[in-house]
């Protein structure tokens, strides 16, 4: 799948999960689309190190701050340590240790108002029902493009107030 700023290659194998490769152009000196993220702080969790690294390079170019994690326990510890720092929590659904829903359940105890987006290669009615029960704000198909991803973050979170 082509985006305006790169290329996403995703493969889904039943019973094995989804592998995604995100190819991005070189980092530019000025943000490609201005400061659309308006300083929102995104915590991005995925067990794919390459994807986390790509998001940590890409999101700041669009005006977001980002903290990336491959370990769900470490991501939850970060929220416990500073719950008000984050504006949105984005998590992969299928991970080896805890699922995205497990993470959402724990986040609802730590900070119930923190918007959660779960990304999955397969979204069925059961996942939708469980996500709704846990207060997940949005389920996003893993086959999304960058513009759709940024729009999802904007849809579920508020911009940070400007600071002088």
Q: What pLDDT shows up at residue 19?
A: 66
The answer to whether residue 163 is domain-embedded is no
Report the pLDDT value the prediction gives residue 31, as an integer from 0 to 100.
Answer: 40
Beta bridge partners of 141: 120
List, in sequence order, every residue forming a beta bridge with 91; answer none if it has no partner: 45, 118
- The whole-number pLDDT of residue 34 equals 46
pTM of the entire predicted model: 0.75
Q: What is the pLDDT of residues 3-44, one digit of tens each?
A: 455 655 666 767 777 666 565 555 443 344 445 667 899 999
pLDDT, tens digit, 9 for 90 and up, residues 56-86:
999 999 999 999 999 999 999 999 999 999 9
Q: Is 26 within the bounds of a domain?
A: no
Instruction: Take residue 95 and report the two structure tokens written for it.
Output: 């991970």
| Per-residue pLDDT, 24 | 58
Task: Report the distance separating Cα 49 and Cα 43, nearest Å.
Answer: 14
Give the structural domain span for 47: 39-156
pLDDT in the model for residue 50: 93
Q: Please, which residues have CB within 8 angstroms of residue 46's CB and are 6 or more apart in sequence?
A: 52, 55, 70, 91, 92, 95, 119
Residue 118, strand partner residues: 91, 139
Any domain includes 98: yes
Q: pLDDT value at position 1?
A: 46
Q: How does 144-155 read in b/e, with b if 16+ C-beta sit within 10 Å?
A: bebeebbebbbe
- Count Cβ atoms below 10 Å from residue 27 Cβ, excluding itself: 10
CATH number of domain containing 139: 3.40.50.2300
Residue 35: phi and psi, rounded to 5, are -105, 55
Number of domains in the chain: 1
Residue 3 lies in a domain: no
pLDDT on residue 55: 93
pLDDT digits (tens, 9 = 90+) for 97-154: 899 999 999 999 999 999 999 999 888 899 999 999 998 999 988 877 888 899 999 9
Which residues are bridge partners to 13 per DSSP? 17
- Going by C-beta distance under 8 Å and a sequence separation of 6 or more, which residues neighbour residue 5? 24, 25, 32, 146
């Amino acid at each position: 799948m082509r985006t305006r700023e790169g290329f996403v290659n995703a493969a889904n194998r039943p019973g094995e999960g989804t592998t995604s490769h995100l190819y991005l152009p070189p980092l530019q000196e000025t943000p490609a689309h201005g400061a659309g993220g308006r300083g929102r702080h995104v915590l991005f969790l995925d067990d794919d190190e390459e994807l986390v690294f790509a998001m940590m390079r890409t999101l700041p170019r669009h005006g977001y701050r980002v903290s990336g994690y491959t370990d769900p326990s470490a991501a939850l510890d970060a929220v416990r340590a500073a719950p008000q720092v984050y504006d949105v929590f984005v998590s992969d659904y299928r991970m080896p240790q805890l699922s995205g829903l497990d993470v959402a359940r724990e986040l609802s105890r730590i900070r119930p108002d923190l918007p959660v987006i779960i990304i999955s290669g397969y979204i069925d009615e059961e996942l939708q029902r469980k996500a709704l029960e846990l207060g997940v704000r949005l389920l996003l198909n893993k086959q999304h493009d960058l513009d759709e991803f940024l729009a999802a973050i904007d849809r579920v979170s508020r911009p940070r107030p400007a600071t002088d």
